[in-house]
Amino acid sequence: KQLKELTSRIRIVMKDPLYPILIDEEGGRVSRLSKIVDTSDYSQGFFRSLFEKNKSVGTNSYVEYLYFNSQMLNEVGININTIPVLDILKKNTHQVIGNRSYSKNLKTINTLKQVCFNVLKKFKIGSVAKHIPGHGRSSVDTHKKLAIVYTSVNSLLKDDFNAFKNINSKFAMTAHIIYKKIDSLNTATHSKILINNIIRRKL
């Protein structure tokens, strides 16, 4: 009741019934509504495990979860959720990503991300793909340390960056990572070169 009243009053103040209100409700370790409903077991990695054992069971389970989650957000007046995490898992991927990612397999990521986009769109919830153009090669927690990736541009475009190509999402959250072969000084978040030349033109 408190949350519904909050979102309602924000929209009254802004004089906009569709005013954007965002939440970071991934499930798993990143759940902001855990005092209302506990989704700590349902990381993207959880659904990856189901999907890679049985594609039908995995897909249907993920759809059911997203239906529930989206209905809950509709009920409380939140209309943008910062999911999905499209970072590809690597051997040295820091645990800050870990099971928040779908998979090390690009095909699995491409299937499950589309499920996510489709369900959120059905419930009129905006999605925020993250962490563009790819956080999987970071071996540090970028909340605490600067990550630098030395991988070649061609390799990144074929692999990590490819997960973000032509995605069906209106929003994206950038990676706080320096991709040394693209912009040696600035993280993706602060790089005109990376945002204009890679994210906008190539992805």
Six token digits for residue 142: 């970028």
Q: What's the mean pLDDT in 111-126?
A: 98
- 130, burial (CB in 10 Å: exposed 0-12, middle 13-18, buried 19+): buried
User: What b/e sequence results for 103-113 when a residue is b if at least 16 CB atoms lie within 10 Å of its CB, and e otherwise?
Assistant: beebebbbbbb
Q: What's the mean pLDDT in 170-199?
A: 97
Summarised one tens digit per residue, pLDDT across range 122-142 is 999 999 999 999 999 999 999
Q: What number of other Cβ atoms are within 10 A of residue 122's Cβ?
A: 12
Residue 35: which pLDDT band, with cuts at 50, 70 and 90? confident
Summarised one tens digit per residue, pLDDT across range 65-91 is 999 999 999 999 999 999 999 999 999
- The rounded mean pLDDT for the chain is 96
- pLDDT given for residue 69 in this prediction: 96
17 preceded by a cis bond (ω within 30 of 0): no
Lowest average pLDDT, out of 35-39, 146-150, 160-164, 169-173, goes to: 35-39
- pLDDT given for residue 64 in this prediction: 98
Summarised one tens digit per residue, pLDDT across range 47-64 is 999 999 999 999 999 999
